[in-house]
């Protein structure tokens, strides 16, 4: 077993989270499960936002059975491919809780065949960016009031789980006029749309920082690493099959465990060492990555993502 590096972040470095209220989207499986388990085992009350109550309740039961301490866990019904469901889930949460300390936009889909949601958006664009954007917008008053009442300048945090795909296989920049990327075809089209949606997720964190850091809300985007989860199961192409097999067999270079995959998210959500790097993009394990600065320092692009995302949500009827 390799020795631990003092400069890296580990689950045992998570501070006491008693009194914290957290939402983790997709917290019932994969790195979301591990993220939820670690936050709850360190004292936080955690809501798992997902579209399958049965799977969430099963995950909660498994977490409670595996942990020696009492866990404060709750389901939150929410389907990111349905903006009305996002709205209803967020409003249900606000009826239950008077504060929100940490919001982790963890849920996502990868390289799925082209399809539109009932709201009229490509499924990856909506699931990985637009629905999390809408969720944050609805919850902003609660995030702001929690920050205003906090004695810690960086207690309130939003973390977007993004991907290196934003840098490696996405278009060179955001295409906000054709965000569904209908014109992109070929065997890599699903991956390009995935990278595009994760680029938006990454830039969205910077946009949040620009607007709300002064109000006490810190925001981050993360690349969790190459982790064997059910995310890789959707792409039917030969390339998708190759990725699936190499990751699950552990022969993809850089493949890490689910527990390690959650570490960077947990760092951004909880570590005092992340305090002065709001708006940044982090890679395993809690290292600041400057590569996205080509987008994040483009104030026009960052601002346009926000206004165009607002327009999309508004034109969808919200």
Check: pTM over 0.85? Answer yes or no: yes
Lowest mean pLDDT: which of 83-97, 234-248, 251-265?
234-248
| For range 216-231, the mean pLDDT | 87
Answer left, alpha or beta for residue 223, where phi above 0 means left and psi between -120 and 50 means alpha: beta
Can you tell me the mean pLDDT for 145-149? Answer: 98
Is the pLDDT at 16 greater than 70? The verdict is: yes
Q: How far is CA 94 from CA 89, 99, 138, 143, 177, in A?
A: 9, 8, 10, 11, 33
CATH number for position 246: 3.40.50.720
In sign, the C-alpha dihedral spanning 12, 142, 273, 29 is positive
Q: Measured between alpha carbons, how far apart are the two ends of the chain, in Å?
A: 51
Question: Quick check: 1 pLDDT over 50?
Answer: no
Residue 4 lies in a domain: no
In sequence order, the 6+-apart residues with CB closer than 8 A to the CB of 34 are 258, 259, 261, 262
Integer Cα distance of 93 and 95 in angstroms = 5
Percentage of the residues of the chain whose pLDDT score is greater than 90: 87
Report the DSSP beta bridge partners of residue 103. 23, 158
What confidence tens digit (pLDDT) does each residue in 287-305 have?
Answer: 999 999 999 999 999 999 9
Q: Is the pLDDT of residue 240 over 60?
A: no
Environment class of 295 (CB within 10 Å of its CB; exposed 0-12, middle 13-18, buried 19+): buried
Q: How far apart are CA 24 and CA 210, in angstroms?
A: 23
Residue 33 has pLDDT above 60, yes or no: yes
Residue 152 lies in a domain: yes
309 located within any domain: yes
Residue 184 lies in a domain: yes
Active site residues: 194, 198
pLDDT at 107: 98
User: How far apart are alpha carbons 98 and 155 in whole angstroms?
Assistant: 15
pLDDT at 273 over 70: yes
Q: Domain of 46? A: 11-315
pLDDT at 2 over 60: no
Tally of structural domains, the chain: 1
In a domain, 5, yes or no: no
* 252 pLDDT above the threshold of 90: no
Say if 76 falls within a structural domain: yes
């Amino acid at each position: 077993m390799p020795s631990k590096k003092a400069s890296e972040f580990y689950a045992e470095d998570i501070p006491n989270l008693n009194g914290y209220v957290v939402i983790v989207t997709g917290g019932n499986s994969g790195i979301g499960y591990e993220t939820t388990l670690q936050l709850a085992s360190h004292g936080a009350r955690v809501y798992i936002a997902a579209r399958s109550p049965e799977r969430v309740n099963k995950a909660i039961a498994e977490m409670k059975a595996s942990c020696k301490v009492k866990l404060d866990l709750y389901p939150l019904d929410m389907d990111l491919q349905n903006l009305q469901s996002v709205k209803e889930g967020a409003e249900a949460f606000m009826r239950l809780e008077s504060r929100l300390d940490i919001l982790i936009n963890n849920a996502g889909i990868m390289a799925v065949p082209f399809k539109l949601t009932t709201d009229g958006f490509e499924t990856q664009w909506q699931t990985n960016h637009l629905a999390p954007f809408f969720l944050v917008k609805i919850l902003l008053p609660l995030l702001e009031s929690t920050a205003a009442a906090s004695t810690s300048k960086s207690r309130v945090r939003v973390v977007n789980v993004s991907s290196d795909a934003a840098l490696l296989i996405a278009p060179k920049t955001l295409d906000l006029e054709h965000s569904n990327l209908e014109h992109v075809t070929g065997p890599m089209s699903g991956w390009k749309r995935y990278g595009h949606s994760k680029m938006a997720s990454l830039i969205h964190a910077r946009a949040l920082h620009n607007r709300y850091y002064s109000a006490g809300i810190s925001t981050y985007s993360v690349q969790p690493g190459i982790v064997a989860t059910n995310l890789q199961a959707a792409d039917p192409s030969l390339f998708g099959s190759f990725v699936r097999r190499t990751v699950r067999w552990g022969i993809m270079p850089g493949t890490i465990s689910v527990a390690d995959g959650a570490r960077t998210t947990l760092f951004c959500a909880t570590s005092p060492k992340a305090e002065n790097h709001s708006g940044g993009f982090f890679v395993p394990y809690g290292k600041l990555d400057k590569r996205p600065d080509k987008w994040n320092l483009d104030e026009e692009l960052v601002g346009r993502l926000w206004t165009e995302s607002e327009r999309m949500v508004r034109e969808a009827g919200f």
